[in-house]
Amino acid sequence: MAAFRAQGLAKRYGNVTALGGVDLEVGEGELVGLLGPNGAGKSTLVKIACGLVRASAGSAEVAGAPAGSATARASLGYLAELFRFPGWYNADELLALHQRLAGSEGGADERAELLDLVGLSEAKTRKVEDMSKGMQQRLGIAQSLVGKPRLLFLDEPTSALDPVGRRTVRSLLEELRRRGVSVLLNSHLLSEVELVCDRVVILSKGLVVAAGRTEELARPRGVEVDTDEGTKLFESARREDAPKIVADLVGAGQNVYGVRVLETTLEEIYLEAVEGETS
């Protein structure tokens, strides 16, 4: 059973189509990156999955239950793109509140573990209003993990983080993968997505325009070889052509110092898929 499945999912706001019929699946323990320009429908898709927005057509299921149902909500964790926590709570109290709302019996141990996971152990008693934006974002991630959800929806979880904070989140995502938690990661940071996600789905104008593993989506761009005469690019060559290219060059009396098989990057895949569209 898929952790999340959307079939023909559509959402219209008056005359504006936010989602035009999306099919998407996140498998158990899979980490899927959701990419697309602003206004592509990424946040709408996640909000429908969490029961915050009602779909105009199609269906969405979380852990086999209709999206928005109590069963579905009990199976997921969610970090909104734009969120705020009441400033008068400290980190520990906020997590305790969400434990009560989620019906978690993890108690103080769970709260301590979550704060440790996001690097906020030292800020356990610090009030939200005294935290930096980055700390609040990490607290938001910890909040989304309360109750050990099977599926996590993260909407731009690293947007306010510095490089160290991003690395913390990357490590956290890898830890979640080890624990078998499914994640749908909505992000603009292609490098982050490329590093941690098993698959990517690219949305544009409310439709899926590309989906698959990065390697599957990538196209060969040739083989580059460093020789005595400089770097040579064999544009039509593929990975399997590399040994023959090297052998021919060596046979011709040249020294070979390096060989690189070139493929399109995720950024190039993305730009081709959305055809340069931006918000």
Note whether 153 and 76 are within 8 A (CB).
yes
> Is residue 57 part of the contact set for other proteins (CB under 8 A)?
no
Residue 234 binds other proteins, judged by CB under 8 A: no
> Interacting stretch for other proteins, rule CB under 8 A, among 44-52, 168-176, 232-240, 245-253?
44-52
Q: Among 17, 27, 28, 74, indicate the residue that binds other proteins (CB under 8 A).
A: 74
Min CB(277)–other proteins separation in Å: 24
Can you tell me the distance from the alpha carbon of 237 to that of 235, in angstroms, rounded to the nearest whole number? 6
The secondary structure of residue 174, as a DSSP letter, is: H
How far apart are alpha carbons 61 and 66 in whole angstroms? 5
Query: DSSP string spanning 62-75?
Result: ETTEETTSHHHHHH
Six-digit token string for 34: 């959701």
CA distance linking residue 111 with residue 93, whole number of Å: 9
Query: Does the footprint of other proteins cover residue 86 (CB under 8 A)?
Result: yes
- Residue 138 engages other proteins in binding (rule: CB under 8 A): no
In whole angstroms, the minimum distance from the beta carbon of 187 to other proteins comes to 18
Site for other proteins in 167-226 (CB under 8 A): none
Contact window for other proteins (CB under 8 A) among 96-104, 215-223, 228-236, 269-277: 96-104
Least distance to other proteins, CB of residue 221, Å: 42
User: In 3D, which of 273, 193, 189, 203 has the Cα closest to residue 48?
Assistant: 203
Q: Does 47 bind other proteins (CB under 8 A)?
A: yes
First to last CA, the chain: 35
76 lies in the binding site for other proteins (CB under 8 A) = yes
Contact with other proteins (CB under 8 A) among 82, 164, 258, 275:
82
Determine the Cα–Cα distance for residues 50 and 121; give it in Å rounded to an integer.
Answer: 28
Shorter beta-carbon distance to other proteins: residue 36 or 51: 51
**Amino acid identity, residue 88?**
W
Question: Which residues sit at the interface with other proteins, rule CB under 8 A?
Answer: 47, 50-54, 70, 73-74, 76, 78, 80, 82-86, 88-89, 98, 101-103, 140, 143
